[in-house]
Amino acid sequence: MSSASVEIRRPTLPDHLSNDKTSPHYNADCFKFRIGIRLNGKERADVEEYCISEGWVMVPSGKTRDRRGRRLLIKLKGTVESFYRD
């Protein structure tokens, strides 16, 4: 069996996903692969959390930090699409 014939099964991307390990919406299996996010048809590389059904993404607000040292996030609304990059 060659490595080219082995198909890697990617998990279905959830409706709500976060890259913060302390979040209840974090899914480590999805982050084994590269994920892409489009907001209003434009691909964004700085998305930290998204929800497709509610139509929003959370992105960092510059270098601003909260009192716990985490990045301060702002919510952008629009049409959200998630996909796996090849």
Give the pLDDT confidence score for residue 6 in this predicted structure.
64
Residues 21 and 6: their CA atoms lie apart, in Å, by 30
What are the residue boundaries of the structural domains of the chain, listed by start?
17-84
Q: In the prediction, which pLDDT does 86 show?
A: 80
Q: Which tens digit of pLDDT belongs to each residue from 7-37?
A: 678 899 999 999 999 999 999 999 999 999 9
Q: What pLDDT score does 51 carry?
A: 98
Is the per-residue pLDDT at 39 higher than 90? yes
Asked if residue 37 lies in contact with residue 81, where contact means CB atoms within 8 angstroms, the answer is yes
* Strand boundaries in 1-86, DSSP class E: 16-18, 35-39, 42-44, 49-51, 56-65, 71-77, 80-84
For residues 52-62, average pLDDT: 96
Which residues on adjacent β-strands are paired with residue 33? none
Indicate the pTM of the whole model.
0.84
